[in-house]
């Protein structure tokens, strides 16, 4: 899942979260999770002043984004001091699975 500026959204991307009105975020959502973006829907969201959307996978590379391999290497580096502890290995594996899911590779 990736949070992207609406201006980078393209046809065919799938919403990973509901889109709420910027002027009433607690109100009914504009679009639901799982909706496929189209050019007309993107234009309507722009007209409603929506600035960002959360889409499935990682379809857009932004400055500073890390690759899947870089993220997993950093995760393993952070857990290296507790690598012999079975419970911490499970926690690390859960985080690794979540990272892979967020990047669209399960």
Instruction: Give pLDDT tens digits for 21-73.
Output: 888 888 889 999 999 999 999 999 999 999 999 999 888 888 888 989 999 99
- The model carries a pTM of 0.70
- Cβ neighbours of residue 73 under 8 Å, at least 6 residues apart? none
pLDDT tens digits for 59-88? 888 888 898 999 999 999 999 999 889 999
- Cβ neighbours of residue 64 under 8 Å, at least 6 residues apart? none
CATH fold for domain 2-55: Molybdopterin biosynthesis moea protein, domain 2 (3.90.105)
Q: How many CB atoms lie within 10 A of CB 55?
A: 23
pLDDT for 106 equals 64
Domain positions in the chain: 2-55, 68-102
Question: Span 86-95, mean pLDDT?
Answer: 95
**DSSP per position, 39-72:** HHHHHHHHHTT--EEEESS-----TT---HHHHH
At residue 55, the 3 state secondary structure works out as strand
- Cβ neighbours of residue 76 under 8 Å, at least 6 residues apart? 92
Going from the C-alpha of 100 to that of each of 13, 48, 61, 75, the distances in angstroms are: 18, 33, 16, 12
């Amino acid at each position: 899942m990736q949070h992207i500026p609406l201006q980078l959204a393209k046809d065919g991307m799938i919403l990973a979260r509901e889109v709420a009105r910027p002027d009433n975020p607690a109100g009914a959502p504009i679009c639901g999770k799982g909706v496929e973006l189209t050019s007309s829907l993107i234009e309507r969201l722009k007209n409603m002043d929506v600035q960002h959307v959360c889409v499935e996978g990682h379809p857009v590379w932004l400055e500073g984004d890390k690759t899947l391999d870089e993220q997993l290497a950093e995760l393993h580096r952070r857990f290296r001091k507790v690598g012999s502890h079975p419970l911490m290995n499970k926690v690390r594996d859960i985080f690794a699975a979540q990272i892979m899911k967020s990047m669209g590779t399960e």
